[in-house]
Structure 1
């Protein structure tokens, strides 16, 4: 957690002690999900709203690998083509459950990490090469999925449970009129440390209000083109964009993998 916090990153690769074998990734959702389940266990056993003790945070990270089930341990080679990498990300067996892969050299040593965001940035920089698709609208490309949403005043515990149970990294937040007003995602857990886990009984709204620089929730219309969507996501470095009605109701969501599957 100290490394994730210091580097202000969401995920970190894990290798064997001899630094010869890539084991997988541990990200903020793995940690938060694990602590949440420990919190439920302790609270239930002792009949109180208790926080896991310090010993819990000495748990080996090997026990947290893909705890949230959204980051499978896949790797590619430095000699693989971008086409092969894209095919891996959109493979039916891992689609929507593969956020990043390790890059190994000829000696099987990990030298880098390649994420969905990297692929989207590549697509944005080379959007002219997608001549047959770049001008098509999102509705036509069938990249809009039904959004999963919760009220913004729900508890962090409920939001985290919703994310984990659906094996996704983010959900829409709506007000009493079900209008889109924000989103809760793994990015909102960036920079967490053990002291942060007192928030489980608090609301999502309270948690987000404490962030110094929260990312704005982006939304577009169904008539937005692939080029517009890709450039918007790449320029703002976000992981999803919502589709709303004229009245502001969330009608759908487009995530990075939804775009990658049609590249």
Structure 2
């Protein structure tokens, strides 16, 4: 594993091709949510740095690219920030009557007390037993008002990104950037006291004038690793099973779950995506396995789709009403197809049908006509891995398909794990730091103290103020 360590230590941040990128989308904090969503959708990106014009700045609305004198870097805004702020507005406006329970009560628990199931959605109607049309009208009306808000007034923003001074950070090693930039970022955000993720997915570099010069993402690091996979040693050939990635919990929902509730579930569980899975029937349990145990392990049936911010990168303010739709129909609508697979799934569990010749016919028929790739029912083409896939193969899938996660499925296409860009970075750092074994005379406490001191020194060296005066607010 010494090769992997050498690769990360010999590579400087300035050597990454993305650092010299000249195309950079930036937003003003005076931009409205509607304008920001439109710019993000047009450029098919999930996030952008937000800047505030200086006292002499007369610009209004949105600027792309924004190159203003005396501007102040405020943070990042991403689609997840906007959607989470929208959820909070919805909870404040309609409260328990519309949501069943307030998902933002500060306790961090599931907004439903348990995961939403297909039967819950079927029996409960649109959130509070009302019609889907009523909910759609509520969302559309609130969405129009929400879209007129300025980015500076969002309740959730600036959490998923870090900022480093380009002069110092450019000389840093790739190992330092991954460890302290992405996986252990300094607490920074648009406003004092704002929470930030323990892990961030993008890091922006700024110069002495406070101008953002480039943005490096986790995907950029994965792209670099894919290009140098031959230098990762044994790690490149390690399988998903050997790395323990085929038994990771996968938070899931069924196609009948309303999209708005799926969003609330992502927030409450602290995840960036949900696996959309078919409701599991007794006949779908693994051979010889207890049905309850199998359901607990897998959380549902075969993989039908993925619901995440990545799937909503083209979302605009006109889409808020569609959040009342079941997630299967919402994804199909976004991908311009029709969702009909749910009817086939119900046929498989119809009372009196299981075990009959008709049931065998349906199963055989499904095997002949079913989509050849997970996700096609909802217009997606999901990229999946198995327990036998290697680390190098998973990285290649992430890079080749420009995606942020790969689901690990078993032989029945049931998701049993998930691998994200963050998992890739963590594993590489784990291998690289393990390759530098401490001397026998160094105690674990001394090694930890040395690592903490190095982390603190790196942050102090690389987090200069974008304005050259005040330290940026947390």
TM-score normalised by the chain length of structure 2: 0.51
Residue 54 of structure 1 and its aligned partner are, at CA, apart by 3.5
Number of the residue aligned with 2:403 = 238
The answer to whether the aligner puts 1:4 opposite 2:8 as a matched pair is no
- Which of structures 1 and 2 has the bigger CA Rg? 2
C-alpha contact 2:406 2:418 (8 A) present in aligned 1: yes
Residue 183 of structure 1 and its aligned partner are, at CA, apart by 0.9
The change in CA–CA distance for 1:244 and 1:142 in structure 2 (over 3 A counts) is: same
The secondary structure found in structure 1 opposite 2:270 is coil
Deviations along 1:66-125, one digit per CA (max 9) or x if unpaired, are: 54x861444353333322211122339887631111122354421111111111111101
- Which protein is richer in helix relative to its size? 2
C-alpha contact 2:50 2:74 (8 A) present in aligned 1: yes
Alignment of 1:1-263 (within 5 A): 1-18=37-54, 19-44=70-95, 49=135, 50=138, 51-52=141-142, 54-64=144-154, 66-67=156-157, 71-75=160-164, 77=166, 78-88=170-180, 89-91=182-184, 97-143=199-245, 145-177=248-280, 178-212=301-335, 215-263=380-428
Which region of structure 1 is more displaced relative to structure 2, 149-158 or 95-104?
95-104
CA–CA distance in 2 between the matches of 1:110 and 1:12?
11
Residue 181 of structure 1 and its aligned partner are, at CA, apart by 1.4
Gaps of 5+ in 1: none
The change in CA–CA distance for 1:109 and 1:27 in structure 2 (over 3 A counts) is: same
C-alpha contact 2:207 2:213 (8 A) present in aligned 1: yes
Residue 60 of structure 1 and its aligned partner are, at CA, apart by 2.2
CA–CA distance in 2 between the matches of 1:55 and 1:210?
23
C-alpha contact 2:387 2:408 (8 A) present in aligned 1: yes
Aligned length: 262
Deviations along 1:122-164, one digit per CA (max 9) or x if unpaired, are: 1101111111311111222334532111112211011101111
The secondary structure found in structure 2 opposite 1:12 is strand
Which region of structure 1 is more displaced relative to structure 2, 153-162 or 50-59?
50-59
The change in CA–CA distance for 1:76 and 1:227 in structure 2 (over 3 A counts) is: farther
CA–CA distance in 2 between the matches of 1:218 and 1:23?
35
Gaps of 5+ in 2: 1-36, 55-69, 99-133, 187-195, 281-300, 337-378, 429-474
The change in CA–CA distance for 1:65 and 1:142 in structure 2 (over 3 A counts) is: farther
Residue 184 of structure 1 and its aligned partner are, at CA, apart by 0.5
Which region of structure 1 is more displaced relative to structure 2, 140-149 or 176-185?
140-149
CA–CA distance in 1 between the matches of 2:270 and 2:165?
23
C-alpha contact 2:335 2:380 (8 A) present in aligned 1: no
C-alpha contact 1:70 1:168 (8 A) present in aligned 2: no
The secondary structure found in structure 1 opposite 2:93 is helix
CA–CA distance in 2 between the matches of 1:72 and 1:142?
28
